[in-house]
Structure formats: C-alpha cells, structure tokens
Amino acid sequence: MKSPSHLIVIGASAGGMPALCRLVEQLPDSLPAAVLIVQHFAPDSLGWHLVERLSRHTGLSCRLPNDGDPIEPGTVYLAPPDRHLLVKDGHLLVTKGPRENHYRPAADALFRSAAAYYGTAVIGVVLTGMLHDGTAGLELIKRAGGLAVVQDPNEAEFPSMPESALSNVPIDYVLPISRMGDLLTRLVQIPSSGNSNVPDDIKLEAAIAERVVGTMDEVLRLGTPSTMTCPDCGGALFELKHGKLLRYRCHTGHAFTADALLKSSQHSLEETLWVALRMMEERKNLLTSMASRGEGLYSVQQEERIEEIKGHINRLREFLLNGVKSSTAVTAPEEEQS
C-alpha cells in the first residue's frame, strides 16, 4: 500500500463545517496526501453525518477512522466525536486521552502527533473557530520543519483561532479558503525529508499523549514545575515554553495554553463565588428566622448581622452578574452546529 506524500492536518471549530466543505471541494481526487481533520463538536454528535456532509463536496474518500487504520493517500479522515485523532508509524490512533484546552478531539493533539512522526511532511492548517486550539500544535509543526497555513481572519466566521495562531506562531501562508485548495495541492508536490530532525521534546510529548509514557519524571524533561494545579484533575502543572507561546501540562496528559488556563481558573472562581452567595443567602434566612423568635437586645443584634450579610450578598451578586455578562462570549461552550 502506498504511503501518503504528506499529511495535511486541519483544525476547525465554530463555523468550521462550511469552511471545510469549501476547502475539500478544491482538492483533486488524485491528491497524494492524506487529510486529517479535527472539528470541534458535541461528544454525542453523529460523526458519520458530518462525514457524509463532507463527501458531498469531494471525490476523495471521507471516513471516520478506527484505531489502527493505515493512513492512505487521497483520503479525508475526520476525528470521531469525543476522541483524539493521532498518528503513529503510518497508522491512526483513535483514543479517549485527556482533554487538551478542554477539547476532545483537539487540534493541538493531532498537530503534535503529526509533527513527531512526519516532521517536514506535515502541513498544518487552522480555520475558523473560537479560542485558541491549534496554536500550540502549529508551533510544534513549525519546530519540526513543517508548514503552517492559516485562514485569513478577515473572512473567518469566527476569527479567534486564526488570530491566535498569527499572534504566536511564524505562519507561512495566510489566505482565504477560496485559494487554500490550490496552495495545498501545490505544496504536497514538494518532496520532504520526513522526521529525521524532529526535536526530542516533541517526540516525548507525543508519546505521553499516546499513553506510552506519562510519569512525573518524563514530564519534568519537558518543562519546569509551576505553582498551579490542573483544573481537570488537580495534579501539578508543568510550564513549557518554546518561542512566544507559554503552555502547561500535567503528568496525566491534560494540556493548556496560558490563555486557556486563565479562562479555566476564571470559571472555577465564578463557581466558587456562586456557592459562597448561596451559603450567605442561607445564613441570612437562618438569622431572619432566629431574629423573629428573639426578643429585645438579641433580636436587634440579629437584625444588625442580617443587614451586614445583605450588603455582602448585594455586592457579590452585582459582581457575579456583571462578570457573567462580560464573559459570556468567551466562556460559553463552543460546539459546531451540523
């Protein structure tokens, strides 16, 4: 069986399916490369429905891969719902590994895996989407000798993902979807040298994602211990920094950009404050009941405490409601509408 000349790995999120359909319809049926796609969608989505939707726009074979499938040229593989899509030694790995930036599948996981095993034969593409999945992975693709392509943020339905990549990674090509198919078709005709010069830390991080290694000692080889804990499992976070991008990961495999970690801590803080508000409301109600049954000085003291708690409640409620209003756009779950 012939191996693909290149891997085209694509990350997309909100607004991604229309963009992907426009892109694959430009690719020739004789494409010598394989196309691997991570599109964010809900864990209970019907992956086959999205594959059928892509198939209507291309003569390339479109599939939901199974773990262990060989990677074939002229084929489009879409990561299944709630599974990471990785590569290893010419085959696909479909795993339920730890989430990265709270996503599974995650573009960063696919991009890193491709960089580790295919090096200069990888072309990473970031399309429309919110937040920053794909940025860390593009950085690793570039360090391994691959190419980075980003949809022009000015035409992206949701420009956050392309803008994040442009802000943190030296991008080779920035262009609209209408010109991307022709570019990719030309790039996969250029011979590559494979993965002979992939940095060791990229290979190690890919192995951790495959669950081949994942001990504390292995993660210490990637970065330095931080003072923070993983928001997903509570384990210690290690700080990784190459170039402009600051990243964190724990030894169990959860990974975050600094921005994603900040948003996660904001969400945890908000949850804690809502619990505190509920407890103060309960305390106020209890004091009110006690005051109604008391007499004289005791009742006056309870009323004073009630007024004090009411002040705390009002200030906390105002803070929470204003905070929710200002952060709804960035903290709301992002799922692709099919």
For the annotated catalytic residues, the residue numbers are 13, 40, 133
Burial 196-233 (b: 16+ CB within 10 A, else e): eebbebbbbbbbbbbeeebeeeebeebbeeeeeebbbe
Which amino acid belongs to residue 156? A
- Residue 90 and residue 106: Cα distance in Å, rounded? 20
CB 142 within 8 A of CB 169: yes
Q: How many CA atoms lie within 13 A of 144 on its CB side?
A: 33
Q: Where are the alpha helices (DSSP H) in 147-295?
A: 160-168, 177-187, 200-209, 216-220, 258-293
Torsion angles phi and psi, residue 178, rounded to 5:
-60, -20
3-state SS, residue 225? strand
Q: Helices in 35-193 by DSSP H: which ranges?
A: 47-55, 107-118, 135-143, 160-168, 177-187
Among candidates 116, 114, 112, which has minimal Cα distance to 100?
Answer: 112
* Polymer length in residues for the chain: 338
Rounded Cα–Cα distance for residues 284 and 286 (Å):
5
